[in-house]
Amino acid sequence: MDPFPFPPPDLTDRIARRTRRGPGGRRERPFRFLLDSRLFRHLCDPGQAAALDSFRASLAHLRLAPEGGLPDLELTPLAIFDLIGVEPPQFPAFPLPKSMMALKAIDVGVLLVEAIKKEFATVPELEAASLERRLDELRQAANPAAHELFDVCLSASPDKLRSTILEQLTFDALVRFRFPEEYRDRMTHLFNSFLLDSHLPVSGLTKARVIRWLWDKSLERLLKSNPKERGEILAVDQEIKPRTFKDYLGWEAIHYSVVGYARKQVHPVIAFTLEPGDKLRARCKAHKTVLRAFLDGISLEELRTVLRPLIRAWTPGWLVPCRPDGTLEAALSTGEVPIWAGSSPPAPEPLEPDPEE
């Protein structure tokens, strides 16, 4: 078996074409390289030294890194949170005061975000010192040969990491809050809008929750519109119904590789994961199908005006399955994965790179 397969378009050539020199001659690469937490654990395991060597060799073969080196691999904030082994804090449900009924959804959301963040800020495990101590313990337990990988993926300061994790856990708790019936329609509309803006402090995990709700609403229509693919759709239906925090975390790579991952601008993502290629393709197809159904429910005028800059920023990338032995399967271009009904979400127009990125 060829350990370095990649189909057209050649991932290496695509990266080379997008690599450029910015102001002052600084070399910039607009791709963001994500590593899922399961693969990170696997590669840091002292018993998987051979897999780590193979992973490095595969990256070098694809010219994503110099021989023996690593690209700027990242873990998402909630992937790091998962690594430290702490259960997500829970925000208790409580009856909302009648005075809030007159508020818009965004104002209800703001008030709850403030309350949730205040509550979560008291969790000892989320203190910067606690995060730093736990990560130091994980580094010491890792294969020494993986320390470079560990340091590349976990370069943020403890204070910055705490701030980002706290913010993303807060928005996730907001989406999971049990709203009374009279609030649900307007709050659902607000949460659906989180899918559109890649710069909101909302994690890919939380957006996967929204995708799951939208999938449930679309399932019957998909089955009726695609009778010959009923078996495939029902199989994906089981895939797209995660039940735990870790299950939803597995969908972050899918979301970011489909729409991009934001800094000051939205970057295309190359995501490495332990999931096999056929499962990634099915998940990607489901994700894009839901996005298409969501956009179909928005007026054309709104898509062409208010929402156009947000959708233009969507930037598809690649999913790269990694075998347990550290070798890579063929990269999957998310922009080329079809959907079950209608066309794909609108293709983004090219954006000028941000000179400060």
Q: Which string of DSSP letters, residue by residue, matches 99-133?
A: GGGGS-HHHHHHHHHHHHHHHHTT-GGGSHHHHHH
The two most distant CA atoms of the chain are separated, in Å, by: 65
Predicted confidence band at 15 (pLDDT cuts at 50, 70, 90)?
Answer: low
Average pLDDT over the chain, rounded to whole?
86
Domain presence at residue 348:
no
In a domain, 324, yes or no: yes
Cβ(249)–Cβ(343) below 8 Å: no
Residue 279 domain-assigned?
yes
CA-nearest of 166, 255, 172 to 208 is 255
Report the candidate in 74, 2, 63, 70 with the shortest Cα–Cα distance to residue 34.
74
What's the mean pLDDT in 30-39? 92
Lookup: tokens for 336 = 């080329």
Structural domains of the chain, count: 1
Residue 355 lies in a domain: no
Within a domain: residue 138?
Answer: yes
Residue 289 lies in a domain: yes
Q: Evaluate if residue 354 carries a pLDDT over 80.
A: no
- The residues, any chain, with a CB within 8 Å of residue 21's CB and separated by 6 or more, are 27, 28
pLDDT, residue 324, reads 96
Q: pLDDT tens digits for 205-255?
A: 999 999 999 888 888 888 888 888 888 888 888 877 777 888 899 899 999
For residue 255, what are the domain limits? Answer: 11-18+28-89+100-336
Q: Out of 74-83, 219-228, 252-261, which region has the weakest mean confidence (pLDDT)?
A: 219-228
Q: Is the pLDDT of residue 133 over 70?
A: yes
Whether residue 19 is predicted with pLDDT greater than 80 in this model: the reply is no
d(CA 351, CA 260): 13
- Residue 276 or 9, more confident: 276
Residues 158-206 pLDDT 10s: 999 999 999 999 999 999 999 999 999 999 999 999 998 888 899 999 9
Asked if residue 349 belongs to a domain, the reply is no
In a domain, 354, yes or no: no
**Is 37 in a helix, a strand, or coil?**
helix
- Per-residue model confidence (pLDDT) at position 349: 39
Percent residues over pLDDT 70 in the chain: 87
Q: Which run of H or E residues covers position 269?
A: strand 269-273
